[in-house]
Amino acid sequence: AQRVTQPEKLLSVFKGAPVELKCNYSYSGSPELFWYVQYSRQRLQLLLRHISRESIKGFTADLNKGETSFHLKKPFAQEEDSAMYYCALWKLGGTSYGKLTFGQGTILTVHP
Amino acid sequence: DTGVSQDPRHKITKRGQNVTFRCDPISEHNRLYWYRQTLGQGPEFLTYFQNEAQLEKSRLLSDRFSAERPKGSFSTLEIQRTEQGDSAMYLCASSEDRLRGGYTFGSGTRLTVV
């Protein structure tokens, strides 16, 4: 069965420091991975997806199939990055549909 | 179109009562998902609709839970004979076919069973 593990419930860094939020997955198929973010009092929203290979708000994430990881990184954290971050794995349920399986989330706090 | 709307935002009910939640997805989105989230946990999949067809329902979902999407637009999630363990945030999300995994979430309905 597919599983997403985020080993850190809480992560604190100071402004300007690098940050890495860890995500590991288990899945027998070809994985598609995502990061979602929830800022205080806002709804859950998509941050980035690995197939896009994009950088959003300075964040990047690289899929490492050998280590089955999809860690989220930012070289210089900002206070506005403080939020709950969820890693998610897309699983095909049939030929034309699928669903996301979410990790437990990591609360990132960036101190001034 | 203001995104995915969920109603009500909060619901407090007595144990044993039935509750119904509504989700209005983005109009162009044919995929609709329901998730449940408890404190300290990530969203947990409940069920999925493609248009009006319910294509998957979590095995964790008891028979007290039922969901509909009668015309392929809005959806309702009903919980019968609520229990304290049903207390959670219920999230609705929608997406287009081409955006695998790219959900737009609603604000959720927070259910408290007393």
CA distance A24 to A104: 11
Q: Bigger pLDDT: A52 or B2? A: A52
In this predicted structure, the answer to whether residue B86 has a pLDDT above a threshold of 90 is yes
Could you list the beta-strand ranges (E) of A24-82: 24-26, 32-38, 45-49, 60-61, 72-74
Nearest CA in chain B to A90: B101
Q: What is the pLDDT of residue B60?
A: 75
B29 to chain A, closest Cα gap in Å: 13
Q: Which of A61-75, B7-21, B88-102 is predicted least confidently? A: B88-102
B37 to chain A, closest Cα gap in Å: 10
Q: What confidence category does residue A95 fall into, taking pLDDT thresholds of 50, 70 and 90?
A: low
